[in-house]
Amino acid sequence: MSWFRKAQAPAAGTAAAAPPQEAGTAKVAMTVNGKAAAADIDPRTLLVQFLRENMRLTGTHVGCDTSQCGACVVHLDGKAVKSCTVLAASCDGSEVTTIEGLAVDGKLHPMQEAFRQHHGLQCGFCTPGMVMSAIDLVKNFPDPSEQQIREQLDGNLCRCTGYHNIVKAIKAASQTMRS
């Protein structure tokens, strides 16, 4: 994207082109949870910052900022990504789904419902990222084994260590999602 590149000083004797927008900002427009979202942002803004600070969608959490914990996972054009490692400006024109966008007409997504039923959360800090990763996991492994679930979730950490029930919840949700 052009706004990542620093504006270069014009060569001596040439007219300087008018900057397309306020220096130091980038225009970004994307669809978040089915709604248009646009803002002028610092080009260094991370997707997670854009979601939490510009869109006020605070369900996406920041647990580490070093791409380890997975608390920040959202869906970008249908794929799970760690939003702390994605520049918001690179998502221009994309579709983003956050945990807030899963329930339809007040009805929880089957994965959310399974986490509720199987007690797949304790403090809940990791839960939004777990749920978003788990939905992508089931897309790729419609009938996952326990081992596959554990392997595929290696990018999501639960500091309450509630993995046993998280795995049970994902297994149950995969059955509901298949039917």
Q: Given the complex with ligand FES, which of 55 and 126 has the nearer CB atom?
A: 126
Nearest approach, Cβ of residue 126 and ligand FES (Å): 3
As a whole number of angstroms, the distance between CA 84 and CA 136 comes to 18
Nearest approach, Cβ of residue 21 and ligand FES (Å): 29
Q: Given the complex with ligand FES, which of 43 and 155 has the nearer CB atom?
A: 155
Interface pick for ligand FES out of 28, 32, 57, 69 (rule CB under 6 A): 69
Q: Read off the tokens for 26.
A: 């980038």
Q: How far is CA 4 from the centre of its chain?
A: 21
As a whole number of angstroms, the distance between CA 9 and CA 139 comes to 48
Residue ranges of alpha helices (H) inside the chain are: 47-49, 110-117, 127-140, 146-152, 163-178
Interface pick for ligand FES out of 64, 108, 141, 165 (rule CB under 6 A): 64
- Cβ-contact 37, 92 below 8 angstroms: no
Q: Which of residues 125-144 bind ligand FES (CB under 6 A)?
A: 125-127
As a whole number of angstroms, the distance between CA 21 and CA 142 comes to 46
As a whole number of angstroms, the distance between CA 50 and CA 21 comes to 19
Is the torsion defined by CA of 68, 152, 51, 107 positive or negative?
Answer: negative
Interface pick for ligand FES out of 39, 53, 62, 148 (rule CB under 6 A): 62
Scanning 13-21, 28-36, 66-74, 170-178 for contacts with ligand FES by CB under 6 A, the matching segment is 66-74
Nearest approach, Cβ of residue 164 and ligand FES (Å): 12
Interface pick for ligand FES out of 28, 55, 57, 72 (rule CB under 6 A): 72
Residues that bind ligand FES (CB under 6 A): 62-65, 67-72, 82, 84, 121-127, 158-160, 162
